Amino acid sequence: MSRTPAVDSAAPGFTLPGTLRTDSGPQRGSYTLGEHGGGPLVLVFYPGDNTPVCTKQLCAYTSELERFKDLGATVWAVSPQDLDSHEGFAEQYDLRFPLLADTDRTVARAYGISLPGLGLRRSVFVVDGEGAVRWKHVALAGLTFQDVDTLTARIAEVTQGRPAAG
């Protein structure tokens, strides 16, 4: 397994297919790091659609999505499932941020969170508008996740120019 990118280093670039649930239905597209609007990007890696902890995590982020938006942040979630799986998951739980399909785990490997034979480590990276990692959390076990209060506090530190602890 490669190492995770260090805080203040460049985030590994990528382009992945993704889907976004909208009121008019799912919209598929390509998502490229650096083309998320210039504010902080909260890059959420999760092991799988329709699993208990992942569902709880992404539902928590969806229910508080306005808090992320108020800080100028965008949320993208990445897992190894395909777009069909993501669309069903997003529809069932009304997830309102893009779900990206890293089916061959290339991006997970680039971020140092791929676990051969086991999937990936639940992780969150906050990437600034210049493409640098400003904060990260990589779980040893995937049974817990970073809550919205923790993430929004870290994003606020990043957007105010202070180093994010952690």
> Annotated active-site positions, please?
54
Number of H helices, E strands in the chain: 5, 9
What CA–CA distances, in Å, run from 155 to 15, 72, 79, 135, 158? 23, 9, 22, 8, 5
Checking DSSP bridges between strand 15-22 and strand 25-32, what pairing results, if any?
Answer: antiparallel
Alpha carbons 112 and 41: distance in angstroms, whole number: 18
- Token couple for 126: 């906050």
